[in-house]
Amino acid sequence: MTGALIEYHTKVVISAKSLEDGSDLSFSVSNVQESTASSVVWPILKSIGSVGVSMGEFMPSVSTSSVVINNSYGSIGFERKFSDLLERYSIINQPILIYVCACAIGEFDSGDYELRWAGVVKKTRERDDDISIDIAGRGIEDRVINTIVSREIFTNAPESSLGLPLPVIIGNAVQVKPIIINDTSESSIEYAYGTNLVDYRCDGISQVYAKAHDGDYVEIDGSSSVSTQLYGNTYASGKSNDTMSNWEIGHRFQIGSEGDIVTAAFMRVYKSAGTAAGVIEIKLYVDDLLQNASSSNWGRAPGTVLGTGRYELSKLSASAGDYEIRVNFDKPVILKPYQNWFISHKLVGDTTGYVKKYYDVAVSENIFIKTTSDSLWTEVTDYKQYWGLLGCHVYDTPPTSISRWAGITIDQNDDLDEMPDISKIDLMLDVGGLNDSSSGAVTGSAYQLIESPQHAVELLTKQFNGSIYTGGQFGSEHSATWPQVNNNTSQYYRKISGKTVGATKLSSFIEQICRASASRLTLHPSATTPIGFWAWGARSEVSDALVDDEIEIISIETLGTETIINAVEFFYSEKLVPLDYITGSATGEFKSYSARIYSGDSSEEHYDLCSRISEISQECFGVRELSSKAQPLIRDEVSARNLMLSVLLRNQFPLKLVTFRVPYQRFKDRKLLDVINISHPRLPAFFGTTPKASPATYDGAEVDLTTGYHLSRAASCRAQIESIRTIWDSENTPQIEIVASLLNNPGDPT
């Protein structure tokens, strides 16, 4: 149990819950009697399996192990054994902590214990005079991170929306499809599009898209209010009037760079005194025949009717004067940008002659007329008449105090009873993702957009306490390179922009973030904040240097070509709005991505650099491509380029792993993914320029080996810790067992 002037104490603290009232209790067991301990520590610990953590490609995995304690009668008091406690207390699924103290012989102090491992109890097993406690490491506290549409949160949600997850959105200009959460009012439809984390809220909509009549999603500007006139001629009083024909009259207008959602139209008429009869039909046409409303295409119809409304003239007052005729269309119409449109009106069934056209004799304009239903359209010049269109107002829904979701509201004018069903509009949104809180708890700046990978991980690991998201497992054991990722002037800068898909577990989304940002998540011994963050960046400082008489090398393993990547192609900047052959970068399964990066693209600036990195690897091992072809969490070119370079630089040659053991006291402070130096004769050390070994030299001269000098050949290798475990021998003396990857890829700054 003791080494040279050192003795080791191991203590296990086991938490328990009362089966009567749920109260908390803890038991401590040790491998030796602790007479100086301030609390009761039973000396009944017999053995511990190895405990620790290992890195996967991006995420750590914790070990399972077991603790064996003495369960004989009288071991913890008169005729009392440990398992007697389990009649009234349960330790299943409760925390278990393992501590080690290394001290000079006879100078033990319980305050010198250091936490080596935190986990939970999985099950217990009694056999003879022992009780074995199976334990599992405490990893990420996994959970679904989305808000799910339910009646508890959205009391008016339609059946079709229940159970749908709202995505967690990180970064800017992310495209999402909103979900209806309240359609009880015809004039106002509420949607949710993303998950809010109470004080950490989405940045809001930056662009709205709606599906037009031809299937294209088009940008929608949206009216500033439901009563704002979108297009047409602004009304002026005191103008002229004259007999209104029963011809269909069409007025041309053009849409600019952004479209609109139109639900209603109006026109001005003059009415003589008396009760009018008949109806006025108002129609909205799209110029889908591409005539561009030109007289050179005389005789062509304005196009396809997309909306129709009828106004009963008998509803007008009997008094003489000019009146507004307003109709709602039978369905909402999406006005597509860069397109000619027509609004037409026609008097039908009037037998009184009271209704007349209202116009300005001082202004002329071109109109289209159709004298009968079978005749062709004719373009003529006439006096200006007054008409207009009304549309929908789209805006961010104000968040509630405990905000679980971000949303938008679409309103339409409700002056008329029968309104078109705006809930049928097919929408897409460009939105900003989660912002920091008002106190800047994550980024240091109030309401700062969360877009760096480490800030995203820190925020997502916070936990809801019933009123706010706070605390969480994110600690302070991070690589020195991690701030470089968040610095937009750094050559290693990269950011995240994307969303979850479906109901997503925390661990799954964090892994996606790490994969998209050349980062890795680490775990360290901590009961509360074990999570650390490692980011690929500038050359890492060496945290320790080991020589051959300090370590015992167990094995050296070189893995196969599955660890090599020397060609990178992936697609990024995902869009939900369908792309065409100009805006898209690919077809097939990647057709929704607007950008592509390829290390072998000779037309790009990065080609020469990528070729220098990968040419020897490709010569030795053939072309080994990155298997993940889609990066939905990357939206910008700089992040894509840095991810590509990190993959090429770190994976040129087969992964080489060295497993070794070190005395506990010598290496207890090292952490997962620390970079270290190792000098040992068993490590590869070529030296010189030929496979034939040269005689040993010192200070430029060959050494005489007959004089009794002890010589060994060893190179100093940089390595990164991929697994760190504490193991105990039969006398409960701890050691550290390490698996480290040799950093043998030229050019990799790690």
DSSP string, 12-73: EEEEEEETTT--EEEEEEESS--TT-SS--BS-EEEE--EEEEE-SSSEEE-EEEEEEE--T
Bigger pLDDT: 330 vs 700? 330
622 DSSP 8-state letter: -
For the segment(s) 229-391, the CATH number from 2.40.128, 3.30.300, 2.30.110, 2.60.120 is: 2.60.120
For 431-451, the pLDDT digits (tens) are: 999 999 999 999 999 999 999
CA 364 to CA 386: how far, in whole Å?
12
pLDDT band at residue 341 using 50, 70 and 90 as cut-offs: very high
Q: Quick one: average pLDDT of 555-580? A: 92
With tokens 């997850």, the residue in question is: 165
| Closest to 436 measured CA to CA, from 417, 418, 452 | 452
CA 563 to CA 641: how far, in whole Å?
21
Bigger pLDDT: 708 vs 681? 681
Confidence (pLDDT) at 405: 96
299 DSSP 8-state letter: B
Answering whether pTM is above 0.85, one says: yes
Q: What are phi and psi of 227, to 5 degrees?
A: -105, 5
For 81-95, the pLDDT digits (tens) are: 999 999 999 999 999
Confidence (pLDDT) at 301: 58
Confidence check: pLDDT of 45 > 80: yes
Confidence check: pLDDT of 38 > 70: no
With tokens 């949710």, the residue in question is: 192
Please report the sign of the dihedral spanned by the C-alpha atoms of residue 347, residue 353, residue 358, residue 361. positive
Confidence (pLDDT) at 684: 83
Confidence check: pLDDT of 686 > 80: no
Confidence check: pLDDT of 234 > 90: yes
Bigger pLDDT: 186 vs 111? 186
User: Which residues fall within 8 angstroms of residue 581, CB to CB, at 6 or more apart?
Assistant: none
Rounded (5°) CA angle 382-383-386:
120
Please state which of the ranges 329-338, 444-453, 491-500, 701-710 shows the lowest mean pLDDT.
701-710
Confidence check: pLDDT of 387 > 90: yes
CB 98 within 8 A of CB 10: yes
506-517 and 453-460 helices cross at what angle (nearest 10)?
A: 170
Confidence (pLDDT) at 4: 53
User: How does strand 64-70 pair with strand 45-48?
Assistant: antiparallel
Confidence (pLDDT) at 371: 87
673 DSSP 8-state letter: T
Confidence (pLDDT) at 708: 67
User: Which residues fall within 8 angstroms of residue 69, CB to CB, at 6 or more apart?
Assistant: 12, 29, 44, 45, 46, 82, 130, 131, 133
Confidence check: pLDDT of 68 > 80: yes
Q: Which string of DSSP letters, residue by residue, matches 179-218? A: EEEEEEETTEEEEEEEE-BTTB-EEEEEEEEEE-TTS-EE
For residue 546, what are its two tokens?
């080991």
End-to-end CA distance of the chain: 38
With tokens 């334990």, the residue in question is: 135
Q: Quick one: average pLDDT of 396-419? A: 91
- Provide the CB-side half-sphere exposure for 103 (13 A, CA): 14
CB 568 within 8 A of CB 598: yes
pLDDT band at residue 567 using 50, 70 and 90 as cut-offs: very high
pLDDT band at residue 374 using 50, 70 and 90 as cut-offs: confident
For 48-61, the pLDDT digits (tens) are: 999 999 999 999 99
pLDDT band at residue 289 using 50, 70 and 90 as cut-offs: low
Q: Which residues in 277-303 are b (16+ Cβ under 10 Å) and which e?
A: ebbbbbbbbbbeeebebeeeeeebbbb
278 DSSP 8-state letter: S
Confidence (pLDDT) at 3: 45
CA 384 to CA 268: how far, in whole Å?
11
Confidence check: pLDDT of 625 > 60: yes
Run of H or E residues at 147: strand 147-148
pLDDT band at residue 13 using 50, 70 and 90 as cut-offs: very high
Confidence (pLDDT) at 560: 95
Bigger pLDDT: 295 vs 580? 580
CA 208 to CA 429: how far, in whole Å?
5
Confidence check: pLDDT of 426 > 90: yes
Q: Quick one: average pLDDT of 694-712? A: 71
Radius of gyration of the chain (CA): 37
Q: Which residues partner with 521 through β-bridges?
A: 533
Confidence check: pLDDT of 292 > 80: no
CA 444 to CA 439: how far, in whole Å?
8
pLDDT band at residue 176 using 50, 70 and 90 as cut-offs: very high
Mean of the per-residue pLDDT values of the chain: 90
Confidence (pLDDT) at 2: 40
Confidence check: pLDDT of 295 > 50: no
As a whole-number percent, the residues of the chain with pLDDT over 90 amount to 71
Confidence (pLDDT) at 39: 63
Confidence (pLDDT) at 37: 47
Confidence (pLDDT) at 298: 46
Please state which of the ranges 249-263, 298-312, 460-474 shows the lowest mean pLDDT.
298-312
Please state which of the ranges 146-155, 201-210, 217-226, 631-640 shows the lowest mean pLDDT.
217-226
Bigger pLDDT: 379 vs 709? 379
User: Which residues fall within 8 angstroms of residue 43, CB to CB, at 6 or more apart?
Assistant: 29, 30, 31, 32, 33, 34
